[in-house]
Structure 1
Amino acid sequence: MNWKQAQKEFQNYLRIERGLAENTVQNYSLDLAKLIQFLDQYYEGINPLQIEPTHLYAFVHQLAKVVNARSQARIISGLKSFFEYLLIEDFRVDNPSELLEAPKIGRKLPDTLSTSEIDRLIGAIDLSHPQGERNKAIIETLYGCGLRVSELVGLRLSDLYFEEGFISVLGKGNKQRLVPIGNFTIKLINIYKDEVRVHESIDKSASDILFLNRRGKALTRVMIFTIVKNLAKAANLQKKISPHTFRHSFATHLLENGADLRAIQQMLGHESITTTEIYMHLDTSHLKETVLKYHPRA
């Protein structure tokens, strides 16, 4: 087995067997490419079946000199997945990455926006601009539904169940979930959909896509990042924000107002409750009130 064959088959395994999103598959592939580049430089001719732990230790040692702890941990995780794949498919009988240890990193608390900051951002949108109503609906959907940017750009007209108060979202690993949507967000989407989008020249490939660019095609992830960045500048907001900031704010504000953590987990599409629990660190003021109100010894 050569590296080119191994990379291709590993990608197919991630897509088909594990059902991972394309962005995740590409990230795993880039991590593997870093190892291949290192081996070409220091251990020329080593193929995936010949790698020993010492090769990987040398790679990790070199890696620590050029990337931060968080990036190291992600790359090591990707390599472990690759060698687990080789084991599962019986290409190897051992796992040379078994004893690799990722650097310990603290949980990074996500950045959030206050409701007034979100109002400032939305207020900075120029509604006289052809894309103004669209951008307003985009920001409100990110915040009102807690979507990932990939989920937003993939949102379809056929995913909107406004009468029932839900939208259908295709999340990580192609997992479908229903997310509640509020009346205010519905109103802004309908304004864009019925008063702006309907008059656009729409590409056949994007006929069912909700949010479109000026050419009538689906928006890219990069374009959403650009919209958010430009809005932050227009609102003179001194914070480094991204589309994901609205997702964090959605979860944080729900939690602060007494929402159940398990319900937030379902709405965000988190596979594990421990991922959602990070929001518990953002505001613990309500915890004391909960004990005082509900505990018999309070």
Structure 2
Amino acid sequence: MSISPNFKKIVNIDSARKKKKGGYGGPPASPPMFGKGLTDQTMKSLYNRFSKPKTEEDHRNRALFSILSKTGLRAKEVVSLRFSNLVKAPTGETLITFTRKGGKLGFAVLPEESLKTIREYHSAFEIQSDMFFLSRPKRNQTARTALTTRSLQRIVSSWDVTTCQGKKIHPHALRHTVGQKMLDKAGSIAAQKVLGHSSPITTAKFYTKPFVDGSEYLKW
């Protein structure tokens, strides 16, 4: 039996919509209740833990924490930082240039406090390198190599704290912490500039807290 060319297939609208959205699952997943960053209490605990370094590992941890918690840079950007890429802005700030995600040139303000921790880390162990962060020498060796993103993730993971979602800390969790804090305290434009986003809409989309205590403002 041949099918008439005028025949039109009848499709159930609800079924078509479900297929378009990718399946017949239940209701859409709700957004996570808690952010991906760290609490203020955890950040203060890490700051205090690294405040009095003794070993090379301690000094490097302090410098890494200072950079990650003050700049919000991505792991790949952090391990690429060099002294030769420091620039003094006309307004007095110290800037550091690096290659951003996507291959574009980026820059960030490097607080004097953070730069001091890096210089002390290098000075205490007579490190002669243009790179900010390096591996520790192995037994009976003096050679160091530039830190890799995998090494950085392993180091940060060894700090053994968890995010607001209960997951083990990773470098990007500190970027989320910086983004959310900047958004809360200084607004989307300032947060956008610190994180290097192309638009404050992107910043607001990913770093706005999923809930707000309005009681401070809702007083009648």
Whole-Å separation in 2 of the counterparts to 1:287 and 1:179? 36
What is the Cα deviation at residue 244 of structure 1? 0.8
Q: Does residue 114 of structure 2 align to residue 192 of structure 1? A: no
Whole-Å separation in 2 of the counterparts to 1:150 and 1:231? 19
Which of these residues, 157, 172, 177, is aligned with residue 101 of structure 2?
A: 172
**Structure number with higher relative contact order (C-alpha < 8 Å, ≥ 6 residues apart):** 2
- The AA in structure 1 aligned to 2:144 is G
SS in structure 1 at match of 2:183: helix
Is there any run of 5+ residues in structure 2 with no aligned partner, and where? 1-18, 137-142
What is the Cα deviation at residue 286 of structure 1? 7.5
Which of these residues, 177, 192, 197, is aligned with residue 249 of structure 1?
A: 177
Distance 1:145 1:244, change over 3 A: same
TM-score, with length taken from structure 2: 0.68
**Which of the two has greater helix per residue?**
1
Whole-Å separation in 2 of the counterparts to 1:158 and 1:100? 52
Q: Which residue of 2 aligns with 1:118?
A: 43
Q: Which residue of 2 aligns with 1:232?
A: 160
Whole-Å separation in 2 of the counterparts to 1:134 and 1:123? 14
Which of these residues, 63, 87, 90, is aligned with residue 137 of structure 1?
A: 63
Q: Which residue of 1 aligns with 2:198?
A: 271
- Trace 1:1-298 onto structure 2 (pairs within 5 A): 107-108=31-32, 110-125=35-50, 127-161=53-87, 164-196=93-125, 199-200=126-127, 207-214=129-136, 215-232=143-160, 239-257=167-185, 259-277=186-204, 278-282=206-210, 284-285=212-213, 289=217
Whole-Å separation in 2 of the counterparts to 1:282 and 1:183? 33
Is there any run of 5+ residues in structure 1 with no aligned partner, and where? 1-98, 293-297
Distance 1:168 1:240, change over 3 A: same
Q: Is the 8 A contact 1:111 1:241 kept in 2?
A: no
TM-score, with length taken from structure 1: 0.52
Q: Which residue of 2 aligns with 1:9?
A: none
> For the aligned residues, what is the CA RMSD?
3.1
SS in structure 2 at match of 1:281: coil
Whole-Å separation in 2 of the counterparts to 1:243 and 1:131? 17
Whole-Å separation in 1 of the counterparts to 2:70 and 2:22? 36
- The AA in structure 2 aligned to 1:115 is D
Distance 1:267 1:105, change over 3 A: farther
Distance 1:170 1:184, change over 3 A: same
Structure 1's consecutive aligned runs of 4 or more residues displaced over 6 angstroms after TM superposition are: none
Whole-Å separation in 2 of the counterparts to 1:288 and 1:123? 30
